[in-house]
Amino acid sequence: MLFDILKSRRSIRKFQKREVEKEKIDVILKSALLSPSSRSIRPWQFIAVTDRELIQQLSLCREPGSRFLSGAPLAIAVIADKDSSDVWIEDASIAATIIQLTAQDLDLGSCWIQVRERFHTEQKTAGEYIREVLGIPEQYSVECMIAIGYQGEEKKPYEESTLQYEKLHFDKF
Ligand SMILES: Cc1cc2nc3c(=O)[nH]c(=O)nc-3n(C[C@H](O)[C@H](O)[C@H](O)COP(=O)(O)O)c2cc1C
């Protein structure tokens, strides 16, 4: 049940050495392609990275929020053509979320690494750095990367009793 997946999904930043099977990577990528998008423009593209050296380089895109990526066997960069849609951020974020939930459904852990609006150095954005590492054409912006792998840490699922029910409103605020 999707609700159980939502409760058990936690940000996982430690991973086992074990590789993610190609079949699972394929399911995750196909799921991303099924993401809804405004006016069905589908402005996103996805780069699945399993090359250890590239993952190591990507882990340096930000300090310190991306360092843990070096221990992940798989990273998926979520990029989008920002000139093709005024809501590319929403579209890319939805796809990234679907990637995380599909990974969870496949017994994999994952964590979002924010790239848009983040910096590699004072002079270079995290997106520009990743563009260089992965050879991404100019027209695409990097929204985020999702680190994925078999969990190397345990985190408790969320309990329904701890949800912020005060944030729910019915009919009027
Ligand atoms: C938009 C967004 C950006 C995030 N950026 C990062 C990040 O750069 N690095 C990181 O380690 N976690 C990042 N996270 C993960 C959050 O820290 C995490 O989802 C939050 O603490 C709640 O924990 P949970 O995912 O276990 O429920 C991000 C999550 C979202 C939704």
Span 64-83, mean pLDDT? Answer: 97
Among 5, 7, 10, 11, the mutation site with the greatest number of ligand 1 atoms within 8 A of its Cβ is 11
Inform me whether the pLDDT recorded for 4 exceeds 90.
yes
At 45 the three-state DSSP class reads strand
Instruction: Find the mean pLDDT for residues 11-17.
Output: 98
Distance of alpha carbon 122 from alpha carbon 91, whole angstroms:
28
Ligand 1 pocket test: which of 97, 114, 143 has the largest number of ligand atoms within 8 Å of its C-beta?
114
Confidence of residue 62 (pLDDT cuts 50, 70, 90): very high
- According to the model, what pLDDT value does residue 80 have? 98
- Ligand 1: centre distance to CA 24 (Å): 23
Is there an atom of ligand 1 within 6 Å of 113 CB? yes
Which protein residue has the closest C-alpha to ligand 1 atom 18? 11
Q: Does residue 112's CB lie within 6 angstroms of at least one atom of ligand 1?
A: yes
pLDDT category at 63 given cuts 50, 70, 90 is confident
Ligand 1 geometric centre to CA of 35 (Å): 20
> 């086992």: which residue's tokens?
16
Q: Residues 107-123: pLDDT tens digits? A: 999 999 999 999 999 99
Residues in the chain: 173
Amino acid, res. 105 = D
DSSP 102-152: HHHHTT-EEEEEE-TT-BSSSSSBHHHHHHHHHT--TTEEEEEEEEEESBS
Q: pTM of the full predicted structure?
A: 0.98
Q: How far is CA 13 from CA 10, 96, 159, in A?
A: 10, 16, 21
Q: Is the CB of 10 under 6 A from ligand 1?
A: yes
Q: Which residue is it, tokens 């991973």?
A: 15
Question: Is the peptide bond prior to 36 cis by the omega test (within 30 degrees of 0)?
Answer: no
11 Cβ inside 6 Å of ligand 1 = yes
Sign of CA dihedral 64, 79, 116, 61: positive
Cα(99)–Cα(31) distance, rounded to whole angstroms?
7
